Chains A and B, each alone.
Chain A
Amino acid sequence: MITLYPFERSSDWPKTMIVMKVHSVYSKAINFEGENNRRYSLITGEPDYLPRAALIEALPFLKAGETVKISPELSSVGFDPSIDPGSESVNPLWQPLWREWKRFLLDDRLDCLLDHLENPEEMLGLGPGTTPAGDDFITGLVTAFRWSGVEVNERLVKALEKNGTTWFSAQMIRDALNGYIWKRGKKLCQALTGSSASELLSAAGRILQWGHLSGRAWLAGFSTGLEGIS
């Protein structure tokens, strides 16, 4: 069994050596299945930080099912994925901008979500994408609620806790419900509270670069969440 030594990690990564099984391998990330079926990820790029992730210089050649040890001893904390609910509010200047993100649902690849806006739990596992677009939307929506300090309604929470989508998506939604967020999303939240237009446009642009449709669906969900709160 090989041991991997990431050089940086998120603050929610375990402080001691862990043994995990490879779940899935991508060009810029390897996902592992750890304790309690949780996802852990090794990534190579800092913009791709997500909860329970660690940065490594290069990804080793691994196959799904292999077991590895990961030692965090040499790594420093580079990213805190937690959000502080209700600590800061959106700068009202940006309202017209975030409101238009909902229009991404007019894209004919995402318009299947439009029928479920009243009951977003019905979007679970719905739509195209390796993470189904419905899950991205839900994650954005829940993130907006959590970030604003608004309780996610119980019906939605219960529905989301059911096993209705892919393992990776389920992890992403669970993280959002627990108040953990991807780095791209966190940057966007920070930009929305500030007054720099260029920072906001860059942060929103980086979200759009995320996956084929994931960024669009996430922004649409986030916009829907902010709209509901406001």
Chain B
Amino acid sequence: MKRLEVVKGEYYDSVTLMLVAKELKKIEGVAEATLNMATEANLHIMKTAGFEVDGVNASPDDLIIGIDCPGELFDGLMETARSYLSSPPWKGGEEPSEYTPRTLEGALSVLPEADIALISLPGRYAAAEAMKALERGLNVMLYSDNVSLEEEIELKRYASRNGLIVMGPDCGTVVINGEGLGFSNACPVGPVGIVSASGTGLQEVMVQLARRGAGVKHGLGTGGRDVKSAVGGISSLIAIEALANDPEISVVVVIGKPPSTEVREKLVQTLRSCGKQSVTCFMGESPRKDEPQLKYTTGLEECATVVVALLDGKDAGKAREDLMNEYLKIEALGRKSETSGRFLRGLFTGGTLCYEAESIARRYLESIYGNNPLKIGMKLPDSLKPIQNSFIDYGEDEFTQGKLHPMIDPSFRTGQLKMQSEDPSVAVVLFDVVLGYGSAPDPSSEVVGAIKGLERKRGPLYVAYVCGTSGDPQCLERQIAILKEAGVRVFESNARASIFAAAATVGRERR
């Protein structure tokens, strides 16, 4: 029996909500437990999961607890949920041995040399705190999403006037002097500097560089909207200049979705005059002719390949050609693979990995729907009910309001993956597993749990990419082995997995 209760005016951070839900699910008789801030998006998710939310009197400032259990257990479980919220069972009672400052002023009093503030708050509070940090002379990494465009512009203009940078909003990864902030992988430090408008894009390029023995000194995030006309590339331009002025950096890289025309022009001009070898990676763009000091790439692995060629003094064009030949072989393999069903479903935790995968799949498949589709008119009416060929980014705002990002808590994506796998029209399920600091401790096991419990007679073909390195806390090799053991085809890059998955679906759609 699915029942819910609204707790008025109580805010809890998303980690607490996830952990309380996990604790409740351990209790015998609990089939499902979910705790969310009552945003419209979360109510929709709960409704789709079978909870009766129509007519519920709740605002986004209220907590909503849903439990699927025998009716007689509900009241007791609600009591347990409340006690877990006020006194979390995973906290050992002892506070950490060192005091952690609770305010910016307090933190600066003990760390006066700090020059960057990482802000991770619900979006509606984040901009004000970011401005406070800027006013104190700090650069800002704005991890929060749900920050308005107007606020972003105001923050970035203020930063620019004062010799600072705002990295974000929705900036999941930054690397400063080889040290990662937010989601990051264990990668070597080296002579590459990256400006990235995308978090998992930065992670993928760093991982691909690491696998080729190259390292990154700085990876500066800008937030995806920075390269749109309204923002004008303020942070990207500041970041390029900073990297160009760093004598330890020999190659400057700019990654992101295609910028607006005028921002693109500004970025390219700045790179041309920066005095260093540069590489752009604007995913999904048509290929362009390389310039002596500036190389154009359109894929993340391609970008890493070209950078390594430049570092090694080799021919970037030849390196790119070799990679494309490898892609051809993978495509051939995909076309030969066998599966039942007709459509491809791409179910991603990393936004840029989803974007790149979809842009690759578009070369093979006619129509692709999504919650953030590349083509106008292909937006799914309901992101929880994908149709035909669909790509879903579970890190989009609609899934993360008051909830953890799926790279931290992949359970929602796992549930959706299981549901999609049961659909007999689905031929291929393509998904990502992102490792590193900040990510879930054992994401492959989560997915495999869903794959193994499948009721469908002949399941779809599972294709995956694991973004990570051997030094990551989850251990790349172990995560890959878990997936392979369950019959998942695992590839060495997001591009390769996407090519294989799309090629395996080609020709099936019209059957």
Contact = CB atoms under 8 A, between A and B. Distances in A.
Interface of A: 93-97, 99-100, 103, 109, 197-198, 200-209, 212, 215
Nearest to B99: A204
Given A100-B105, A206-B97, 5 more contacts: A97-B110, A202-B97, A205-B96, A205-B97, A209-B94
27 contacts: A93-B109, A94-B109, A94-B110, A96-B105, A96-B108, A97-B109, A97-B110, A99-B105, A100-B101, A100-B102, A100-B103, A100-B106, A200-B99, A201-B98, A201-B110, A202-B97, A202-B98, A202-B99, A205-B96, A205-B97, A205-B98, A207-B99, A208-B95, A208-B99, A209-B95, A209-B97, A212-B93
Label chain B's interface by main secondary structure: loop
Please provide the 9 A-B residue pairs with the shortest distance between their CB atoms, ordered closest to farther.
A96-B105, A204-B99, A197-B110, A208-B95, A205-B99, A96-B109, A205-B98, A100-B106, A97-B106
A96 B106 contact: yes
A93 B109 CA distance: 6
Contacts of A200: 99, 110
Contact of B102 (A94, A103, A203, A205): A103
Contacts of B111: 197
A93 B98 CA distance: 18
Interface of B: 86, 93-103, 105-106, 108-112
A99 B110 CA distance: 13
A215 B95 contact: yes
A205 B110 contact: no
A212 B94 CA distance: 8
Nearest to B110: A197
B277 to A, nearest CB: 42
Contact of A97 (B94, B95, B98, B101): B101
- Best-buried of A99, A100, A197, A203 by chain B (most CB within 10 Å): A100
A200 B108 CA distance: 14
A36 B97 CA distance: 37
Nearest to A212: B93
A201 B94 CA distance: 16
Contacts of B86: 109
A205 B112 CA distance: 20
Contacts of B94: 209
- Best-buried of B97, B100, B103, B110 by chain A (most CB within 10 Å): B110
Contact of A201 (B93, B99, B103, B112): B99
Contacts of A202: 97-99
B133 to A, nearest CB: 14
B98 A103 contact: no
B368 to A, nearest CB: 48
Contacts of A93: 109, 112
A200 to B, nearest CB: 7
A116 to B, nearest CB: 22
Given A209-B97, A215-B95, A95 B109 contact: yes
Nearest to A196: B110
B321 to A, nearest CB: 55
Nearest to A91: B109
Contacts of A209: 94-95, 97
Contacts of A197: 109-111
B344 to A, nearest CB: 49
- Best-buried of A97, A99, A209 by chain B (most CB within 10 Å): A97
B95 A205 contact: yes
Contacts of B110: 94, 97, 197, 200-201
A170 B93 CA distance: 25
Nearest to A104: B102
A96 B102 CA distance: 10
A204 B99 CA distance: 6
Contacts of B108: 96
Contacts of B95: 205, 208-209, 215
Contacts of A212: 93
Contacts of B112: 93
Contacts of B99: 200-205, 207-208
B452 to A, nearest CB: 43
Contacts of A100: 101-103, 105-106
A11 to B, nearest CB: 27
B345 to A, nearest CB: 44
Contacts of A99: 105-106
A96 B111 CA distance: 12
A209 to B, nearest CB: 5
A198 B94 CA distance: 19
B453 to A, nearest CB: 40
A206 B99 CA distance: 8
Nearest to A216: B95
Nearest to A92: B109
